[in-house]
Amino acid sequence: MDANDYTQIKASIKRSFNIDLEHYKDEQMKRRLDSWLVRTHIETWKDYFHLLATDGKELERFRNYLTINVTEFFRDPSRWDLVRQEILPYLIKSSKENHQIGGLKLWSAGCSIGTEAYTMAIMMDESAPTQKYSILATDLDRGALAKARARGPYNEEDIRGLSQPQRRKYLTAAAPHHAVESLQKHINFQEQNLIADRFDTGFDLIVCRNVVIYFTAETKDKLYAKFSAALRPGGVLFVGGTEIISGASKFGLQNFGISFYKKA
């Protein structure tokens, strides 16, 4: 794919899906797009966009491919152990001291097929069963959101982070599994473009893991500023295990342990 091809592809994608690839790292996205074209067995992007103009199902398949979904229940379990042991008790104590009404306000940003949001619900049920809370779960991928709302189905790879007792309690018995209905009552799944859309505010915990890594440095900074504004004072942003927010203080954030940043 040469520079001219990529420019035309970016323009077509923005026109068709309102997804601006200028925010993504070029080389990563080019490789992803080339891989997709090979899968379609169509020779040129010009021919492929002609197909998209007449095939609604293919249009939706391509839209969903552009959003990257790698997820599972309790991904990076050591980090979730820290949420249970340190972050959650801190947030609960802080909410009581500030007399918060309505309980903890949690957000899974880039929730994909829902495993992260359901992980948060399981954590709350196990670690703070009397604590009131709500979870907003958002993603740009409509196919992933449909699966999240349907509570699955989830395969063995998706659920490998769950213990056997957790599987028995929180999943349906037959494989491929679905999350049990009781987990969903606290979760509101919504379509959202993190870059273009406005954020709600007053969150105690925002979980956005392995999403921002695909964006350019400029777009990362814009997102971190938006996340900071969406947190309540003292609220926590939970990022991926390899993610480091450079110059966190300029966003009003301070390091709160590996993978965690607190709003000052």
Any idea where the domains of the chain sit in the sequence?
3-66, 77-263
Measured CA to CA, the distance from residue 122 to residue 142 in angstroms comes to 24
Could you write out the DSSP letters of every residue in 8-30? HHHHHHHHHH---GGGB-HHHHH
Mean pLDDT, the chain cut into blocks of 10 residues (264 residues total): 81 82 82 87 88 87 74 92 96 85 92 95 96 95 92 93 96 94 95 94 96 87 97 96 90 94 95
CA distance 200 to 98: 19
Question: How far, CA to CA in Å, does 107 sit from each of 18, 39, 148, 226?
Answer: 23, 34, 14, 13
pLDDT at residue 260, rounded to an integer? 97
pLDDT at 43: 87
Q: What is the DSSP string of 45-76?
A: HHHHHHHHTT-HHHHHHHHHHHS-----TTSS
- Answer yes or no: are the C-beta atoms of 136 and 238 closer than 8 Å: no
Topology of domain 77-263 in CATH is: Rossmann fold (3.40.50)
DSSP E strand stretches across 158-218: 187-191, 203-207
pTM for the model stands at: 0.81
pLDDT at 129 (0 to 100):
95
Q: What's the rounded Cα separation, in Å, for the pair 261 and 208?
A: 11
Residue length, the chain? 264
Give yes or no for a contact between 144 and 66, defined as CB atoms under 8 angstroms apart.
Answer: no
Residue 209, number of CB atoms within 10 A of its CB: 21
